[in-house]
Amino acid sequence: MLRDITLGQYYPVDSVLHRLDPRTKFIGTLLFVASLFLFHTFPGYGVATLFLVSMIFLSRVPVSFMFKGLRAIFVILLITVAFNIFLTPGRVLWQMGAVKITYEGLIQAGRMAVRLIYLVVGSSIMTLTTTPNQLTDGLEDLMRPLKVVRVPVHEIAMMMSIALRFIPILMEETDKIMKAQIARGADFETGNIFQRAKGLVPLLVPLFISAFRRADDLAMAMEARCYHGGEGRTQMKPLRYKGRDMAAYCIVIMYLAVSVVFRVRGI
Amino acid sequence: MSIELKNVSYLYSPGTAYEMRALEDINLVIPEHQFIGLIGHTGSGKSTLIQLFNGLLKPTGGQVFYNGEDIWGGDVSRKDLRSQVGLVFQYPEYQLFEVDVFKDVCFGPRNQGLDQEEAKRRARAALEHVGVPEELFGRSPFELSGGQKKRVAIAGVLAMDPRILILDEPTAGLDPRGRDEILRQIRALHETRGITIVLVSHSMEDIARYVQRIVVLDRGHIAFDDDPRRVFSHYRELEQMGLAAPQITYVMHDLRDRGVPVDVDVLTVEEARDNILAVLKGKGAGHAT
């Protein structure tokens, strides 16, 4: 049942990408996304495709997992493509009443589709090769400069990692509660929306009670170990850039440079 | 009213990186009116197995029959099946949700489509049967002690009047007195209502004196399925599975090894006492229980 849903969608294999520092992967992903908006011609997308395919290859994650993320944006993708096809003015290829398809519209739709798909697949590579905790650590480090303007970076990161840590636990608990209630004849699947909403009470009450109890226990355990926020706190596994991170940065920057050149030259 | 499993296997998350084999080629018959202990170490597949009994999980291989009908065969209502095969999970916190104990126990019968009066009658009978005193009926289930919550949870399933009752670790987290009380009440249920009971546990000690048959699961396979005495005679193998026979089995084997001709097949301390006394009085050994 719910066991199959993984929110932190980390895929556990050992690859070069898995071993990279989370900060490298995060910045690398951002730069890749930037490149998608710099490229605006089909040869340019060819370069992006080449880059993306080699990353998928390096990550050693099955390709089907990469495209799972696309299901979530399928509707958005469809709407974007439709709007672009039908509403872009230009050379008319096909017309029926007020509805017309233009050459420019097709090009524009193709461009948007490629950008959206590559964006999702690109960020999937990051989340598939980085555990949620590494990602949080990486973000905490990257956001550190914001401390100067009094953003509680450590606290935000701590909340994020606790939340992430508890998602699988709460999922599993939801599953168990559902089963316990189904065993008592509860029905979560049929009926109209009101009946269904009412049917959720036997699920939500135990779930909330359990979540609050866990939160209480965790707060107690943290206080018992003298947790008092980020001040002067060190990390058990501090992030350190290694040689491969430098290599990765070089590759990504070179790739970005190519996209800038393409843009400037108008290729 | 029997459950039969034929060549059943179960895989978690098949086809993903997290694929895990929980059960493999299980063949098992649970006949009417039996009191069965299902024993296994953590991760042996006990919890998965009991969820196959009432159709909460669908086997990835093999078939599950209830009264000769394949429960995944198409025209079987699994909702009806679940009111015939009652399953009480380990943690009562996962099922208690109503404002008071009585309403919570009514939840099952109400879902069966019974009217208010009948549901109330069943709830009252079930609560009495598991020994929840009437003054607790109006209390919030969250204010109860661990043992009381467990009773209410059992009553919640019992009120549906199942033919087979499966209890997952009903004694976990209880003190010795609470544990014995619950087990005695479960035995009373078996005797007075005549229902089949499957008691899941990881402790032989707890259930030895109550059950008629023990099924031992080890890493997804059935290792033993026999009369308790015969299962305990394999105490060396049980140890290798991370289980143990009751302590009294060890005492009796030690005595036997030292030349005292006691009966090594006794199940309880009381039986052992009688047997040792009998041997000491020179009446001889053997199955003098």
A177 inside domain:
yes
Q: Per the domain annotation, does A34 fall within a domain? A: yes
How deeply is A180 buried, as exposed, middle or buried, from its count of CB atoms within 10 A (0-12, 13-18, 19+)?
buried
B108/A11 touch (CB, cutoff 8 Å), yes or no? no
Task: Judge if A65 and A35 occupy the same domain.
Answer: yes
Q: Contacts of residue B13 in chain A, CB cutoff 8 Å?
A: 3-4
Out of B91, B93, B108, name the one closest to residue A184 (CB): B108
Q: How far is B281 from chain A (nearest CA, A)?
A: 53
Answer yes or no: is A210 within a domain.
Answer: yes
| Nearest-angstrom CA–CA distance, A129 and A13 | 8
Q: Is some CB atom of chain A closer than 8 A to the CB atom of B80?
A: no
Distance (Å, whole) CA A74 – CA B273: 73
* Cβ-defined contact of A185 to B108 (cutoff 8 Å): yes
- A126 and A154, same domain (yes or no): no
Indicate whether A35 and A113 sit together in one domain: yes
- When divided into structural domains, chain A yields a total of 2
Put simply, whether B66 touches A (Cβ < 8 Å) is no
ipTM of the complex: 0.85
pLDDT over 60 (residue B286) = no
Q: What pairing do the DSSP bridges indicate for beta strands B61-66 and B69-70?
A: antiparallel
Residues A152 and A123 placed together within one structural domain of the fold: no
Q: Is residue A176 part of a domain?
A: yes
Residue A49 has pLDDT above 90, yes or no: yes
Nearest residue of chain A to residue B161 (CA atoms): A184
Please tell me if residue A174 touches chain B, with a CB cutoff of 8 Å.
no
A1 lies in a domain?
no
**DSSP 8-state code for residue B104:** H
Residues A39 and A113 in one domain: yes
- Residue in B94, B98, B160 to test binding to A, most A beta-carbons within 10 Å: B94
Cβ atoms within 10 Å, residue B191: 11
Residue of chain B minimizing CA distance to A200: B97
For B35-94, write each residue's pLDDT tens digit.
999 998 888 889 999 999 999 999 999 999 998 889 888 777 888 888 899 999 999 999
Indicate if A71 and A162 belong to the same structural domain: no
Residue A186 lies in a domain: yes
Q: What is the CATH number assigned to the segment(s) B1-76+163-176+185-228?
A: 3.40.50.300
Confidence class for position B1, pLDDT limits 50, 70, 90: low
**Is there a single domain that holds both residue A15 and residue A126?**
yes
Q: Which of B16, B17, B157 sits opposite A183 (nearest CB)?
A: B157
When scoring A11, A184, A195 by the number of chain B Cβ atoms within 10 A, the one with the most, hence best to mutate, is: A184
CA gap A27, A142 in Å, rounded: 9
pLDDT of residue B75: 77
In a shared domain, residues A153 and A188: yes
Residue with tokens 């461009």: A111
Chain B residue with CA closest to A6: the answer is B18
Say if CB B3 and CB B64 are below 8 A apart: yes
Asked if residue B289 has pLDDT above 50, the reply is: no
Residue A106 belongs to domain spanning: 9-130+247-265
Pairing between strand B196-201 and B164-168?
parallel
Smallest CA-to-CA distance from B170 within B142, B146, B137, B194 is with: B146
Residue B214: pLDDT band (50, 70, 90) is very high
Asked whether residue A24 falls in the same domain as residue A74, the answer is: yes
Residue B151 and residue B178: Cα distance in Å, rounded?
10
Same domain for A125 and A178, yes or no, is: no
pLDDT digits (tens, 9 = 90+) for B118-131: 999 999 999 998 88
A126 and A43 in one domain? yes
Could you tell me the residue ranges of all domains in chain B? 1-76+163-176+185-228, 246-289
Measured CA to CA, the distance from residue B191 to residue A44 in angstroms comes to 79
> Cβ contact (<8 Å) for B93 and A202?
no
